Amino acid sequence: MTTPAYRIDELISAKAIAARVEALAREISAFYRGTDKLVVVGLLRGSFIFIADLVRELNLAVEVDFLEVSSYGNSTESSREVRILKDLRGEIEGRDVLVVEDIVDTGHTLRHVLSILGTRNPKRIEVCALLDKPSRREVDVKARWIGFEIPDAFVVGYGIDYAQRNRNLPHIGAVRFTGEPE
Ligand code: IMP
């Protein structure tokens, strides 16, 4: 796949991310104190680094599972359905579930994921999203915990990709297209 030339400007440093993850984990640990084995569900692939860091800071017994759904890509607004590409391995019926997402953008993905998981009768589902772009929201979904609210920029790093690249950056950067061919 050819991509136009771009550069990446640091938006959130690795140090700032680590401090925020620690603070989120403290709040989440307090919220779920006494819960019997919380199921932490990472949405692949963008959340893989975030969930790895987050669960290591949780002072709770957790089970970690993953769900991968298709992104709606360039389909039209009306057909923004998502399909399950990789389902959970475990059961969530009667359990406390924490969905860990990289970015809530329009909110369509999260809304579909919550409705899919909701049919399995969990006790309760909450969401922790690393990044939130509230100005882009098209459907009313909210994460109980948000790492950082960001403006309408295309971001990469800390697990998040642009055309499958840049997931391994330790910080979060904004993609700036430079206009020249690569
Ligand atoms: P939504 O369904 O529009 O909320 O989009 C959610 C998904 O789109 C995220 O989980 C990301 O995978 C992807 N996404 C949204 N914004 C960005 C971005 O700035 N960089 C990379 N991926 C993004």
Entry pTM: 0.94
Task: Report the topology of domain 14-150.
Answer: Rossmann fold (3.40.50)
Report how far residue 151's alpha carbon sits from residue 105's, in angstroms, rounded to the nearest whole number.
10
Q: Where are the domains of the chain?
A: 14-150
What pLDDT is recorded for position 79?
Answer: 54
Amino acid at 91: E
- Expressed in angstroms and rounded, the spacing between residue 66 Cα and the centre of ligand 1 is 17
CA-closest candidate to residue 125, choices 150, 88, 151, 155: 88
**Is the pLDDT at 134 greater than 90, yes or no?**
yes
Residues 6+ apart with CB under 8 A from 23: none
Average the pLDDT over 25-52 and give the result. Answer: 96
User: Tens of pLDDT along 146-162?
Assistant: 999 999 999 999 999 99
Q: How many Å apart are CA 83 and CA 80, to the nearest integer?
A: 10
Kindly list the protein residues whose Cβ atom lies closer than 6 A to any atom of ligand 1.
Answer: 46, 71, 101-110, 154-155, 160
